[in-house]
Structure 1
């Protein structure tokens, strides 16, 4: 067998005849042969290792993304190397630590990580994709959900449900993700004449979000609608409302999150939330990485993956919600925009939502 035939057999995606492939694999089994990936990387100058830096995994969204990302990269012949940033102090992994392993590319998988590490990696020739946040730094790709549209949609849904007192539980101040969700929420409410919004800091942290909820619900005029910048905080707010303040959800207060993580489906939470579709977002991130590795001079791309409002039982449902082929559909109110329950005419078409609704 030729060296090139053996090389193609052990190279993911390479062209090799089935008969030759089987012949090579059988010889490898007899000889106990394994390709030396380190030696190969010295020749190809590619380690086929993708570094993934994550701030923390307590937020279920990131653990779900990590699982899917690992599957997609392995299917393309890449190996994933995980860097977990320290919980306190500088939230970024050390640049030297990342570059020491000669990763082909880096995915920053957290809204808590700064853009500084991304810029430093790009300056050292390592392609970077920001996941669930964005920046306008040169050469830095990004993939996000539709944070602005999601915030607006949540606002419209709560207004249509007849709520009067609104609150927002914010993430981190330097997070583009949280800023866009809040901006969309405020713009959506402003379109209906609502300008007063109670705002508390949750910092994307479960315990902090619970304390923020305690402060909200202890006020003389407590909110009857709370939008949380992610599901992780929404669970904490819901626990505080029910267990420490004796509030009924959604009868006394509606609570909406953002992400649509697994526990949002659980009967104990049954959380209404705006989804970030993990599969399409991961596919977009992997496609950006491969394109950048193929052409390092290509302009940076910023991909926004649309989501949808998943209607479950944690928020008061507008009167015009109907069942349609097993799904819940919100038609929207026909009242003119600017009235207490109005919506823009352009947004009054049928819109479909996911069916996990607990029978409500």
Structure 2
């Protein structure tokens, strides 16, 4: 067994060309089954391992996708990491993860570009116009996951995005709560500047306004479990209480339910209905049975990978993809009739 066997030696032993060896170890490349078996057998005999770094120097492709995250508290994003990594790995790509500040990602840009990544996926992270410009100038495609580009013209035309239909989701929540007879409806916001929060709240407001109902109270939880608890206490301070609350994501909705039941002695849904957004695994747990808006992680990941391929291989223009969402009813909202 030799630890420094070369592709040329494998080719000679397998009696194939060196390009056939290269294709055998390139995901998605065309090679016959007979050739593949001969190459793999020769590689095993010689102890050959393909050198990804050397290949990247030749192909000018690292087959590395940078994934930028700001926080992992919200259980929606561990699911995203799992599904996205599995999808990309099946196609021969590797995910390199970076943790950035919640609202400012420019600090990790230099580090990301040092790895000669083939693409960048930004999830739960903001994209500044300057970062969008630098990535475009470097020829590195960027896909925003669960975010839309900055309102600046440059960011809109240089960056792709994949989101669920947050606006429609907010509308569906308002329609559901109004249909169940609620009129003192509060909103527990996430991050004020995030596109997810803005779109969910916009759709929610539109339906309430059309029905002649004003948002009863509003507080901000910053997508944080502890801050969502504080925001819930703020919403339910005083004698006149909300009879329903729409929470901008499930992570905060679970925190809100804990406060309502354990600290304030309120019953869900008898005293107050609670609706979240995401449908994280914990939402279906028996302790919560949370009614929520479902974001399809699988569909969003599939669209993200497709956008990356379009821009890496075909050089197509960036585009924005919106995935439909739906409400799943459990036990945290007052029953009909």
CA contact (8 A) 2:66 2:98 kept: yes
Contact persistence 1:259–1:273 (CA under 8 A): yes
**Partner Cα separation in structure 1 for residue 69 and residue 229 of structure 2:** 23
CA distance in 1, matches of 2:87, 2:128: 24
**1:94 and 2:112 aligned:** no
Q: For residues 199-253 of structure 1, give each alpha carbon's deviation from its aligned partner in whole angstroms, at most 9, with x where no partner exists.
A: 1011111111100000111122111110011101101111110111000000000
Correspondence for 2:223: 204
Partner of 1:68: 83
Separation in structure 1 between the aligned mates of residue 231 and residue 105 of structure 2, nearest angstrom: 23
C-alpha displacement at 1:192, in angstroms?
Answer: 1.3
Calculate the TM-score normalised by the size of structure 2. 0.91
Tell me the distance in 2 between the aligned counterparts of 1:197 and 1:139: 39
* 2:219 aligned counterpart, secondary structure: strand
User: Given the alignment, which residue of 114, 120, 123 partners 1:106?
Assistant: 120
1:55 equivalent in structure 2 = 70
Match of 2:139 in 1: 125
Q: Which runs of 5+ in 1 are unaligned?
A: 320-360
Is the CA contact 2:104–2:128 (under 8 Å) kept in the aligned structure 1? no
What secondary structure does 1:81 align onto?
Answer: strand
* 2:320 aligned with 1:302: yes
**How do 1:176-187 residues align onto structure 2 when only pairs under 5 Å count?**
176-187=195-206
Listed as ranges, the matches of 1:165-244 within 5 Å are 165-244=184-263
Deviations 1:150-184 (A, max 9, x none): 00000000000011201101111110110000000
Equivalent residues of 1:55, 1:92 under 8 A apart: no
- 1:313 and 2:331 are equivalent in the alignment: yes
Q: Is the 8 A contact 1:153 1:309 kept in 2?
A: yes
Q: Give the CA deviation at 1:295.
A: 2.5
Is the 1:119–1:140 contact (alpha carbons within 8 Å) kept by the matching residues of 2?
no
Residue 90 of structure 1: how far off its partner (Å): 4.2
Deviations 1:29-81 (CA, angstroms, capped at 9, x unpaired): 01110111111111111000000000011100001111000000001110000
- Does the 8 Å CA contact 1:54/1:113 hold for their aligned counterparts? no
Alignment partners' CA distance in 2, 1:114 and 1:94 = 12
TM-score where L is the length of structure 1: 0.85
Partner Cα distance (1:249, 1:14) in 2: 55
Deviation at 1:197, TM superposition (A): 3.2
In structure 2, C-alpha distance between the alignment counterparts of 1:115 and 1:142, rounded to whole Å: 14
- 1:121 deviates by 1.7
In structure 1, distance between residues paired with 2:197 and 2:69: 17
Structure 2, unaligned runs of 5 or more:
1-15
d(CA) in 2 for partners of 1:92, 1:171:
22
RMSD of aligned alpha carbons? 1.3
1:247 pairs with one of 266, 269, 278: 266
C-alpha separation between the residues in 2 aligned to 1:125 and 1:230? 34
Contact 2:143–2:161 (8 Å) recurs in 1: yes
Contact 1:92 1:113 (8 Å CA) reproduced: no
Q: Provide the residue aligned with 1:156 in structure 2.
A: 175
Contact preservation (8 Å) 1:134, 1:142: yes
Q: Is the 8 A contact 2:104 2:127 kept in 1?
A: no
Partner residue, 2:40? 25
Count of paired positions: 316
Asked whether the equivalents of residues 60 and 261 of structure 1 are also in contact (C-alpha less than 8 Å), the reply is yes
Alignment check: 8 A CA contact 1:130 1:141 kept: yes
Q: Which has the higher helix share?
A: 2
